Amino acid sequence: MKKMNFSKVRDCRLDRDSYFGKRMELVRESVIPYQWETLNDRVPDAAKSHCIENFRIAAGEAEGEFYGCVFQDSDLAKWLEAVAYSLMTKPDPELEATADEAIALIGRAQADDGYLNTYYTVKEPGKRWTNLRDNHELYCAGHMMEAAAAYYEATGKRELLDIMTRMAHHIDSVLGPEEGKLHGYPGHEEIELALAAMWRVTGDPVMLKLAKYFIDERGREPRFFDIEAERREGRKPEYRDPGYYAQWHAPVREQTSLEGHSVRALYLATGIAEVARETDDEELLEVCRRLYENLVGKRMYITGGVGSSVYGEAFTFDYDLPNGTAYSETCASIALCFFMRAMLGVDADSRYADTMETALYNTCSAGMSLDGKNFFYVNPLEVYPEASRKNAQYRHVLPVRPKWFGCACCPPNLARLLSGIGKYLFTIDGDTVYTQLYSAGEYDLSLSSLDITLKLKTDYPKSGEIRIIPSAGHYTLALRVPHFSAEKYSLNINGEPVTAKTCRGYLMLERTWSGDDTVMLTLDVSPRRVYANINVRDDAGKVAVARGPVVYCLEEADNETPLAGISLPQGSVFSEEYLPDKLGGIVELTANGTVAVDDGCDLLYRTTPPARRQTKLTFIPYYAWANRGEGEMTVFVREG
């Protein structure tokens, strides 16, 4: 099995005006400070967090009751991980000191036996490990482990790493296959991938042992959560939980599709891929491939959103992708990026990077306002504000982003994703560099036989022109050609057209580079129409518009309403214009269309169609919607 390395955050210097460079800077300058204030309950009119206060109470430094979700600790963990990545690219002594103080507080809240969880320490101190199915002890531990590994890499400081190593050993003393231990696993997966990260940093065999155990034990008979429920409730449950919601419906190695809660399912998939990589387990890797094929072939929105139902925040069934009630949680698309990165670490297939890119430029980006101070938990593909206010079926669909949430998993998750984007840009296999995402900047990469620097000059995805200046040496550049440009691209070196061997979506350029060479890859990012499979009922007779990796939408601020009355004729041609002062700088698309008009008829039903007239349609990137107040929005539009 291949074990490819990844680019490192500290070695990636993204241009500040690049798409991801802007967002990294926004996270550093605005999001991280804003979220710290929120965790300390110092943001007026924002939902209460109480996260830091929970730790102070657990440490015996304040009095009061635990407040928030059972997984409230994870908000601080994700914030610390975002801080770690930020420090890797731009040292900030003041921010580091703040993080150190938070870590010291975490240490003071840890029990003598290594246990760490403020909910149980403060609220139910006698009930540790009695409800793994519902109460997120292992989930919180996993997020804090990820933060510990990242913070150690960023600063070399071991305090949080040592805290979480103690916690891992405590978990190992309680859970496992050995006699006298609970034969359990997490209800909300996350710790599996986190343990793999701890293993890579510490080399402690307990980490990999636990990660593999949690993967292999899940869904086996006798099923632990049934046993746990009977023990907790003192009676047998009235029905046998099928287990789909939390992915324990079958042993992991027998699963063929992503089921249930979408974030849990994708964290599990990421953990499976990580354990497969670290243990050379080809069977587990094949499980990941099966899950991926079902996901992208039948259960993913065009925006990279996943999890279509508000009930259980869950996958439902193949092709069930409603637009107006879509759940498509921000965290689920973030988890999809984690899964795709893990797959790229073992399998050089450009489709994984295509999927990751789709999620990053669309649902993930839409999860945060352009100023970094408001956030979406749910990412629908169609919004009618009155329905959100008055129809319970649409209550989860918000037409504007709130400042914060009582269940605030998404904002700090998005912060750590964007702050650590350097981890996703390249993978390295021996002396081959695979370019997974294109962002202007300068990148230092360690190959098997030499260290190199790549300079990328591009304003992708605004433009499809990508100029690469590789440093001297003999190695292979593997340039990804995204799916939307597979049939139309050009490649030249030093101004001369070249033909390159292709392998699974990559152009393989092996040569001895002089240090003065320039590679130019030009991709086709022109607007295109995208049609859903005929089994996606909501999209029958409709079309979506995309440009490069960016999906577009119609928003009320630019178009006549109701948007449901708009049609895009098949023959309409798109015009493109870059507007630097609109929505942070976007390429706006316009086309001729038609709109139904109010002809004065007040009948609910009639035997003649409403009149239509010509109108100009204006499309903006989906990620930029809801930054100009409340209004309608739609991704798919009628075609005719």
Catalytic residue, candidates 288, 331, 409, 553: 409
In residues, how long is the chain? 640
List, in sequence order, every beta strand (DSSP E) within 438-524.
441-446, 451-458, 465-470, 473-480, 489-493, 496-497, 501-503, 506-513, 519-523
Rounded Cα gap, residues 272 and 276, in angstroms: 6
Rounded Cα gap, residues 258 and 234, in angstroms: 32
278 among known catalytic residues: no
Catalytic residue, candidates 137, 146, 313, 632: 313
Burial class (CB in 10 A: 0-12, 13-18, 19+), 164: buried
Cβ pair 166, 218 in contact under 8 A: no
Q: How far is CA 383 from CA 28, 126, 226, 305, in A?
A: 31, 46, 40, 15
Cβ pair 78, 143 in contact under 8 A: yes
Name the CA dihedral angle for 163, 166, 167, 173, rounded to a multiple of 10 degrees.
Answer: -170
Rounded Cα gap, residues 47 and 240, in angstroms: 37
- SS3 percent helix, strand, coil of the chain, rounded to 5, is 40, 20, 40
In degrees rounded to 5, what are phi and psi of residue 497?
-60, 140
- Side-by-side strand order, sheet with 506-513: 5-6, 426-429, 432-435, 473-480, 506-513, 501-503
51 among known catalytic residues: no
Q: Which residues, 6+ apart, have CB-to-CB distance to 549 below 8 Å?
A: 357, 358, 360, 361, 362, 461, 482, 484
Residues with active-site annotation: 313, 409
